[in-house]
């Protein structure tokens, strides 16, 4: 891979990383809001269990999104460190070059499509 293409992918990855970090920061703030709401709810004498269940569900799906974003962030960091060590774009499983069109669609890919299956 030539250095210009590599630089392009690097910029893409850094942008994506920034984007995810922003989103993560946002859900952190949301979670704090939900926690506070729970505290006030629990001090009330009459609670609606149905409503609490709904909120719990929302809270849990937020956590799942969080996990996905964190996993994605790890992949991006791994891709950036592969760039430093000069192994970016090489399949971690079969050691062949990952096709450029796959990297364009998913720059943090560390395996080729054959190994992905």
Smallest separation, CB 89 to Zn ion (Å) = 11
- Find out whether 31 and 62 touch, Cβ atoms under 8 Å: yes
Closest CB to Zn ion among 66 and 99? Answer: 99
Smallest separation, CB 72 to Zn ion (Å) = 20
What residues line the site for Zn ion (CB under 5 A)?
91, 93-94, 112, 115
Q: What are phi and psi of 97, to 5 degrees?
A: -70, 135
Closest CB to Zn ion among 91 and 103? Answer: 91
Closest CB to Zn ion among 13 and 112? Answer: 112
CA quadruple 53, 20, 70, 87: dihedral, nearest 10: 160
CA atoms of 20 and 43, how far apart (whole Å) = 35
Smallest separation, CB 56 to Zn ion (Å) = 41
């Amino acid at each position: 891979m030539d250095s210009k293409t590599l630089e392009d992918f690097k910029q893409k990855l850094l942008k994506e990383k920034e984007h995810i970090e922003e989103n993560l920061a946002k859900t952190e703030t949301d979670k704090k809001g939900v926690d506070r709401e729970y505290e006030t709810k629990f001090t009330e004498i009459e609670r609606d269990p149905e409503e609490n269940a709904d909120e719990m569900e929302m809270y849990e799906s937020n956590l799942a999104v969080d996990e996905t974003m964190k996993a994605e962030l790890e992949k991006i960091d791994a891709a950036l460190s592969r760039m430093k060590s000069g192994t970016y774009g090489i399949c971690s499983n079969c050691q062949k070059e990952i096709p450029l069109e796959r990297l364009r669609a998913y720059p943090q890919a560390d395996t080729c499509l054959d190994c992905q299956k």
